[in-house]
Amino acid sequence: MTPRQRFLETLTFGNPDKIPFFPGYARETTLERWHQEGLPKGVNYVDYIYEQLGLERPQTMPRIELGVSFQMIPTFQEKILEHKNGHYLVRDWMGNITEISDEYNYTYIRRPKDFVTRRWWHFPVTNRDEWEEMKTRYDAHDPKRFPHDFEERCQALQDRDYTVSLSLSGPFWQLREWVGFEGLCILMVEQPDWVHEMIDFWTEFISQTLAPILQRVAPDFVCINEDMAYKNHSMISPRMVREFLLPCWSRWASEMKAGGCPLIYLDSDGYVGELIPFWIEAGINVEGPNEVAAGCEVDRFYEQYGQQMAYQYGIDKRALAAGGQRMREEVKRRCSLLDKGGYIPGCDHAVPSDVPWDNFMEYSRLLAELCGWL
């Protein structure tokens, strides 16, 4: 099977020849540790794992990306406003004023390369005038959203052996970027009409930006980023989910499926057990990363929802740090679900720096064996 066929067969409860193998995404400090413990510098760590395990990494055609932007155009000018007492105060590209330790380069705010704590002091939308200005940055028909060779890319992607994916912000995620998490929760109670207006705008913007893509090529996988859960519960009530978010998710899922996209993935950290029924109702059919420390147990979700939902990741990062028998038992327990279909196992978020390289290699070998690669 090609990597694309294998991925689709797995997550649509089909019959893959083996399960896609990706142990996990390593952040910057994790790689720094691994370089001190045996991972050579200057190599891709996933390539090196394949080499060390004696596996031939699946080859595909040269990858072509769609290159469509769902971000604001133009962005705000990134600027350091203050640097003192070991911290940067920065206006980031989204218009937020954010504080970050000067242990990190301030550009970590633009693209988090590690587990970095930040503090938000100000958000770009605090009143109606700022909202009207923000809307001007999201013109779905701005030609700068699409690469100059968009038509050629879509044509070339008709015959591919790798998956094509898109990633976009869900309504909860995007409004939180505009008004802040606390501000959004207050607005949902005190000014629900304004929240509906912002969500309707975002829903329409994404739909209009997606339309030219879906008319030309069917993505295999669309990821909706929607972090909206704490350790034990959703960040907002089920009633609020149904009122504010479900209509948006449902419309997008319907349009994506009509455009031929088979997999719609909802990415949220935290405990998502009370959110999965809403995602299924909306037409979303894959979710992750299933953080075990937050109470996400993929086997329990299987029992509740059967083949209405497929899953990714869900292997406890704490077990990888512990290593030994605890790690082996965790991996085997999760991989016992593979016969059910609809599951690609891996670390339940980015791999933290408390995971030693030797542990990760042992885990990768066991995972490759259970997924049918060894």
> % helix / strand / coil in the chain, to the nearest 5?
45, 15, 40
Residues 245-268 have pLDDT tens digits of 999 999 999 999 999 999 999 999
Final residue of a structural domain among 90, 123, 156: 123
Residues 343-362 have a mean pLDDT of: 97
Rounded alpha-carbon distances, angstroms, from residue 97 to 185, 201, 298, 369: 20, 24, 38, 47
pLDDT at 353 over 90: yes
| Same-domain check for residues 129 and 101 | no
pLDDT at 116 over 90: no
pLDDT for position 37: 98
Sign of the dihedral through C-alpha 360, 364, 370, 374: negative
| Same-domain check for residues 203 and 135 | yes
| Same-domain check for residues 36 and 136 | yes
pLDDT for position 342: 98
Question: What is residue 170's three-state secondary structure?
Answer: coil
User: C-alpha dihedral over 3, 6, 12, 15, to 10 degrees?
Assistant: 170
Give the residue numbers spanning the domain of 107.
77-123
Final residue of a structural domain among 108, 123, 138: 123
pLDDT for position 111: 74
CA atoms of 46 and 53, how far apart (whole Å) = 11
pLDDT at 107 over 90: no
| Same-domain check for residues 95 and 209 | no
| Same-domain check for residues 93 and 239 | no
| Same-domain check for residues 98 and 243 | no
Strand 87-91, strand 97-101: pairing: antiparallel
pLDDT for position 185: 97
| Identity of the amino acid at 360 | F
| Same-domain check for residues 7 and 113 | no
| Same-domain check for residues 223 and 91 | no
Q: Which residues pair with 101 in a beta bridge?
A: 87
Q: Label residue 120 by pLDDT band (50, 70, 90).
A: very high
Residues 194-222 have pLDDT tens digits of 999 999 999 999 999 999 999 999 999 99
Give which of 68, 89, 69, 91 is closest to 78, Cα–Cα.
91
Rounded alpha-carbon distances, angstroms, from residue 54 to 19, 24, 320, 359, 374: 17, 19, 22, 18, 9
Alpha helices in the chain (DSSP H): 3-11, 28-37, 45-53, 128-135, 150-156, 171-179, 181-190, 192-214, 238-240, 246-258, 276-282, 298-305, 317-322, 324-335, 357-370
| Same-domain check for residues 102 and 7 | no
Residues 159-193 have pLDDT tens digits of 999 999 999 999 999 999 999 999 999 999 999 99
| Identity of the amino acid at 230 | Y
Q: What is the CATH number of the domain that holds 130?
A: 3.20.20.210
pLDDT at 290 over 80: yes
Residues 137-152 have pLDDT tens digits of 999 999 999 999 999 9
pLDDT at 7 over 90: yes
- Across the beta sheet with 165-169, the strand order is 165-169, 221-225, 263-267, 286-288, 310-312, 343-344
Q: What percent of the chain has pLDDT over 70?
A: 100
Final residue of a structural domain among 123, 145, 160: 123
pLDDT at 350 over 90: yes
Strand 286-288, strand 263-267: pairing: parallel
Find where tokens 């991989």 sit. Answer: 335
Residues 29-53 have a mean pLDDT of: 97
CA atoms of 190 and 64, how far apart (whole Å) = 46
Domain count, the chain: 2
| Same-domain check for residues 52 and 161 | yes
| Same-domain check for residues 10 and 99 | no
pLDDT at 113 over 80: no
Q: What is the DSSP letter of 17?
A: S
pLDDT for position 145: 98
| Same-domain check for residues 109 and 254 | no
CA atoms of 14 and 247, how far apart (whole Å) = 29
